[in-house]
Structure 1
Amino acid sequence: MALPLPRPARGVRRRARPPGGARRGARGGRAAAGRLVRARPEDCRALGTLSHVAVTLANLGDSLRGLGRQEDAFAALDESLALRRRLGAMSGIADCLIITGRAHAHFGRLPQARTCFEQAAEISGDHDIPALLQQSLDGLELLRDVRY
């Protein structure tokens, strides 16, 4: 059961619907959600905004992880990380490494997860990004109790 969306404050406009006119709680299931999510990176590519493409691909990778689509998830995450490195966005690189680390952990690839979290922690510490440093350390903490 979908929860109703809160009414916006006076004078605040509602956000535009996602591509295809979809709305929160719309019917269609996984297939419709998959089509909508896959369309978004192409929309961003068409606009030429690499930063938005990178963010969208990271979100897509995380969503595909949740659907259990390992190969597709890592393809999206790898492309996102490559774009972020190309842009030199250190917070984006660390963020993508954290998402990728979570995906590796989800699929039981614990050594790769540890490597991602360690790299993210190093970048976050070197560039004074405390929120991402904490997420990296939280990821490493979760792995500490798991044997592999």
Structure 2
Amino acid sequence: MHLSEQYSVRTLCRVLDCSISAYYSWKKGHSGKRECHKRKLTALIRTTYFGSKKTYGSPRIYQALKAESVRCSRSYIIKIMQQQGLAGIQKRKYAVTTQSDHDLPVADNILNRNFKLEKINQKWATDISYIQTNGG
């Protein structure tokens, strides 16, 4: 049983705060200007987003659409991107972790790439470059 069978269209529209003409337009399958604009804008956002290899977020998409004279606000783009599950992927900045050209003492290479063992726990190796020191 539908609510329209139980209540009048006028009552339902008053409760839902919409006009009767909007209800009948929706029932016929016609969408309003706002919905049409949202569909077009969603398509443009998706095209721009995937065209940037998923790196553009809302600020860049907004600038790209603004450059094409598309009328929209950044907050509306954010809302549509959230609804579509789109988020810009930030590229990580390259960080130099090794400085080969220095005058600091360097430990001797005792292992010399000889990884063959005669017995267990004879040779151990690790990477401690992640530990921050005063020397850098």
Same fold (TM over 0.5): no
- Is the radius of gyration larger for structure 1 or structure 2? 2
Higher helix share: 1
- Provide the TM-score with structure 2 as the length reference: 0.27
